[in-house]
Structure 1
C-alpha cells in the first residue's frame, strides 16, 4: 500500500505522534518529504484545487503584456487584455497542445510556432491555416481554456481548478489580517527564482519556524529578533498568522532603511508581521516593505522558491533604489543562505535510514498547524480549524 492510500488506522499509526498536542507531538516521518506518491497526491488535491499566487499585476502592466509559467507541470499564460483586465489561460494550442507563448513580452496576438494557429488576447482562435476543409470545424467556437484569475491588492492568483471555491472566501481571513496595508499602489522592486534541493513544504515550514532563529541566525536577524513568545494565530485551511513581533528590516542593524509604508508610518521601527497563505505562500511585513515567498515543487526532492519584495512606488522609481536593492539583497542573501543549508539538510534527513523524527517545541505550533493541514489534505477530511494546543 503506498503512502497516499493508507486507511484511517494507517494514518494514525504513521502519524500518531504528529497528531498529538504540540507539547507532546513529534515531527512527521520522512515519506511526507521525499515520496513521489505524496507529491502526486499534493498536485491533485492541493495545487490542482487551490488558488495560487503567481506574482504582481504590474508585471503585466500594459495591454498585450504577458508572462508564462509552469505551475506544477501545467503550462499557464497570463496576459493583460485590450480592455485592461487580466486573464489566465492554459498555454496549450487547441490543435496539438504546443505552447502558444514562451517567456514574457508584449503582443497583439499569440501564434502557435508549430502550425501557425493564431489567438487574440481574449484567447479566441482567429486563424487556423488549411482548416477550411475540416468538416465541422469552426474557429469561432475555439478559445484557449480560461483559468479562474483574480487579484488582491496587486497580487495575482489563478486556479488550475475551473470551479474553485469563491476567491472572496479563500482570501477573507488573509484580507482581514493584512488588507490594511493597501498594497495595490506598491511596486515590485525585487523578484527572483531560486532553485533548492528540498521538498517544497520544508521551505514553507522553515519560514514559520521561530525556534531556529536564535541559533541559526544568531549573527544576522537573531541579533535583534525576539522569538521566545511568538504570537501565533492558527486559522482554517492551515493558515498561520504571526501578529506583531519585534524583528526589523533586512539591514545589518535591523533599522528601517527607506521611509515606511504609509499604513505603517506610526508603527514602531522594528514592527513585523508574518503569515502563511496556503498552500505555498509565506508573507512578511516590515515597516518599509512587504516580502512574499512562494514555494513550488519540481519533484519530491527539489523546488523553486519565488521571492517577491514590494516597496512604496516612489521608492522603487527613485534614482537611489539600486543602492536600496543592493543593501537589501546583501542581508537577505546571508539570511536565506543560512536557511537554504538547513532545508537541504532536512531533505537528506528525510531519507536517512536511522533517523527517527524528534519531538516538537511549543515554538513550532505554527509549523505543526501547517503540517496537520497537509496531512488532512493528502490523507483525510479532518480539515482542522486550529492546531492542537
Structure 2
C-alpha cells in the first residue's frame, strides 16, 4: 500500500516547533504499511545505520554480510586495511556474494565463480575471453558509504550524505567524556527481541522517562530521577542522571561500581548508546523495522572483559528479563491502541527544565521524521 503525497504532507497537521503547543504524529503513521515504505525511502536509505563494532572488522579480509531494509550489503577490511562496504551483489547475475561473517582473501561468487578483489574490482570472470567488448573495469562492485565512529561501524546508502561525525556535532566528545574507557571495551554479550509494534513506538518510548515512575519501579530505584535531564541536539539527544551510589536499589547490585551515572544517547534515527551504572560498559541498542507493526531490537553489550562477570550478568538479566519486558508490554499495548478508532494524536508533556519526566525528546524525534518525509515529498 502506498500513501499519497497529500497524506504525507498532512502528517504535519497539528505539529508545532514548540513541544508545549504541538500534537504528535497521527496513529495512521504507526499502523498503515504505506508509511513505512515512505520511511524506508526518506529515512533508512539516507541515514547512518549501525553495522558492528570495529573489532569485528579489525583485520584485512574480515567481512560481515548484513542488510539494511532489504538491501543486501557487505562490510569488510581490504588488504591495505581500508574499511569498505558494497552491495552484496555479483554484477554477472545479481547473486549474493557472501553470507555470515569471516575472513577471506578474495570474494568468489557461489553462482558462477566470478572473483572480486577486496577493493571491489573484478579479478576474474570465467570464459569472459569468449565474449566481445568485455572489460573488467566495467564490473566493479557497487560501493556504499562506510565510516567508523566511536569504534562502531556505520553505513549510509546515500552517496551524498554528510559524514556522521559532521552530522553529530559534539556527540563523540560527549560520549568519550562519559566513557573514558571506550577504546578498551570489547563485545561480551547480545540479546535480541521481536516486538509487535511499529519502530517509532519503540523509539518514542525510549526517548522519555515520564512513564518510568509508573512502569519501571526498579529503574527509578537505581537512578536519581531528580537529576535526570534530557537535552536535544541536531541529530541526537542525551539522557543523563546520577545513579551508582544507590546501593539499596531493587534493579541490580552496584556495590563498588566504577560507573556511577546513567548516560544514554539516542542517535537519529534508530540507534541508542547506553552506559549504565556498574563496571565499565557501553551498550548499543539497534531498533530495526521488520514491517509496519513488527520491530527487531538488539542489545550489544561491551565490557572491559569478553565474558560477562556474574555482576555484569545480573545487570544484563535485569535489562533482559525486567526492564525490556516492561517496555515491550508498553509499546505492544500502544500499537494495539493505535489500531483503534479511539486514538488519533496525542500531546507532549513537557517542562522548561528538560527533566526526565518531559517528552520533548519525543517531540524532537517526530520533528526529524517529518523533516525527512518533507524531503521525500520535495524529491530530495
TM range (shorter): 0.7 to 0.9
Contact preservation (8 Å) 2:338, 2:344:
no
Q: Aligned runs of 1:113-152 on 2, under 5 Å?
A: 113-152=110-149
Contact preservation (8 Å) 1:120, 1:126:
yes
Distance of aligned partners of 1:329 and 1:232 in 2 relative to their CA distance in 1, 3 Å threshold: closer
Q: Aligned runs of 1:1-389 on 2, under 5 Å?
A: 3=3, 5-6=5-6, 10-12=10-12, 15-16=13-14, 18-19=15-16, 21-180=18-177, 181-182=179-180, 183-218=182-217, 220-227=218-225, 230-237=228-235, 239-246=236-243, 252-256=250-254, 260=258, 269=260, 271-287=261-277, 288-312=280-304, 315-316=305-306, 321=308, 323-333=310-320, 334-362=322-350, 363-379=358-374
Q: Deviations over 1:162-191 (max 9, x none)?
A: 221133312323123213334233111123
Deviation at 1:355, TM superposition (A): 2.4
Deviation at 1:155, TM superposition (A): 0.6
User: Per the alignment, in what secondary structure is the counterpart of residue 146 of structure 1?
Assistant: coil
Deviation at 1:253, TM superposition (A): 4.8
Deviation at 1:370, TM superposition (A): 0.7
Distance of aligned partners of 1:156 and 1:257 in 2 relative to their CA distance in 1, 3 Å threshold: farther
Contact preservation (8 Å) 1:56, 1:154:
yes
Deviation at 1:256, TM superposition (A): 3.3
Distance of aligned partners of 1:221 and 1:361 in 2 relative to their CA distance in 1, 3 Å threshold: same
| Mapped partners of 2:246, 2:108: distance in 1 | 45
Distance of aligned partners of 1:49 and 1:104 in 2 relative to their CA distance in 1, 3 Å threshold: same
User: Per the alignment, in what secondary structure is the counterpart of residue 23 of structure 1?
Assistant: helix
Question: Taking structure 1 as the reference length, what is the TM-score of the superposition?
Answer: 0.85
Question: Taking structure 2 as the reference length, what is the TM-score of the superposition?
Answer: 0.86
Q: Deviations over 1:227-258 (max 9, x none)?
A: 36642211113x21124444789995544367
Q: Deviations over 1:272-303 (max 9, x none)?
A: 22121101111222352111211111111112
Bigger shift: 195-204 or 223-232?
Answer: 223-232
Contact preservation (8 Å) 2:221, 2:250:
no
Deviation at 1:348, TM superposition (A): 1.7
Q: Deviations over 1:79-133 (max 9, x none)?
A: 1222233211110001121110011122212221111111222222212112212
How many pairs were matched up? 364
Structure 1 unaligned regions, length at least 5:
383-389
User: Per the alignment, in what secondary structure is the counterpart of residue 27 of structure 1?
Assistant: coil
| Mapped partners of 1:195, 1:369: distance in 2 | 26
Distance of aligned partners of 1:247 and 1:240 in 2 relative to their CA distance in 1, 3 Å threshold: farther
Bigger shift: 103-112 or 239-248?
Answer: 239-248
Distance of aligned partners of 1:167 and 1:358 in 2 relative to their CA distance in 1, 3 Å threshold: closer
Deviation at 1:324, TM superposition (A): 4.5
